[in-house]
Amino acid sequence: MLRKRKASAWLYVIPASVLIAVLVFSLVCALRVYLPQRRDENNLERLRQEIQTEKPVGNEPTTFVNRYESVMEQNGDFACWLNIPDTSVDYPVMKSSESDPEFYLRRGFDKQYSFAGTLFIGGGCNLDSDSFIIYGHNMDTDTMFGELDRYADPDYAAEHPLIYIGTPTEDRVYRVYAAFQTRIYAAEENVFKYYEQIGALDEPAYRDTVAQIRSMSMLHLADAPQYPAQLLFLSTCSYHTKNGRFVVAAYRTYADEKT
């Protein structure tokens, strides 16, 4: 009888132990995501305070010049500061080496592991290219590029037409002219590979790129870049299809241009 009771007890102990192990494992995994995210959020807020960034109001640009000395001392990969007024997009943008252009895909500003990563300029281009691209994760918390896909709404796009970039040497303003869904790693020839239209573009390639993007756009805006205005892509994940992407396209303009 005693042996039967012991055997019966083990029938409860083993499942309970497995359940506890699963709960502990889940908790550890959650903390591995949460703690770095909290650390990153604190670091980014500290950086914002250091540069005292004020979001632009209307067409007034934020004065970024000479605000980045401290930021650059902390991380020499800092390329610029990206801000879209009245959104959560207010972040440093990094540029790592061409040998590892996606270094910040899962790393924070401090170069430690980060599920959210840090915004970064893609390989094959830089701030001075005819066309360049900034990547960021589409976070459920609306951080990084979590709000970017709201540009699918024409009203939202009309209310947020300008993108501000501050570099260590100048302020820049970009005007949104398109937003589209697509996918990467597509073998089909009819899928426009926007991520390859970066770096140096001659005039025919430039005009073809703009025409392709406008034809894909979910927005119907009168604005269109004219060669050789610099092109900018903001790219994030989209879950409408496998390897989906959502992209906002803009071109460099001037602060005194009216919305």
The per-residue pLDDT for range 15-41, each reduced to its tens digit, is 666 667 666 655 555 445 555 667 778
Q: How many CB atoms lie within 10 A of CB 135?
A: 24
pLDDT at residue number 248: 98
Domains held by the chain: number: 1
User: Is the residue at 182 inside a domain?
Assistant: yes
Asked whether the CA dihedral 228, 208, 259, 182 is positive or negative, the reply is negative
pLDDT at residue number 55: 47
pLDDT at residue number 40: 79
The per-residue pLDDT for range 117-170, each reduced to its tens digit, is 999 999 999 999 999 999 999 999 999 999 999 999 999 999 999 999 999 888
User: Is the residue at 17 inside a domain?
Assistant: no
User: Is the residue at 39 inside a domain?
Assistant: no
Check whether 232 has a pLDDT greater than 70. Answer: yes
Whether residue 95 contacts residue 126, with contact meaning beta carbons closer than 8 Å, is answered with yes
The percent of residues in the chain predicted with pLDDT above 90, rounded, is 63
User: Is the residue at 86 inside a domain?
Assistant: yes
Asked whether the CA dihedral 51, 75, 128, 209 is positive or negative, the reply is negative
**pLDDT band, very low/low/confident/very high, at 259 (cuts 50, 70, 90):** very low
111: left (phi over 0), alpha (psi -120 to 50) or beta: left
User: Is the residue at 30 inside a domain?
Assistant: no
User: Is the residue at 3 inside a domain?
Assistant: no
Q: Of 187, 155, 177, whose CA–CA distance to 226 is shortest?
A: 177
CA–CA gap between residue 254 and residue 1 (Å, rounded):
88
* Mean pLDDT, rounded, for 223-237: 96
Phi/psi of residue 129, each to 5°? -70, 160
User: Is the residue at 179 inside a domain?
Assistant: yes
pLDDT at residue number 71: 92
Q: Which domain holds residue 230?
A: 69-253
User: Is the residue at 133 inside a domain?
Assistant: yes
pLDDT at residue number 24: 62
Q: What is the CATH number of the domain that holds 74?
A: 2.40.260.10
Check whether 222 has a pLDDT greater than 90. Answer: no
Q: What is the pTM of this model?
A: 0.83
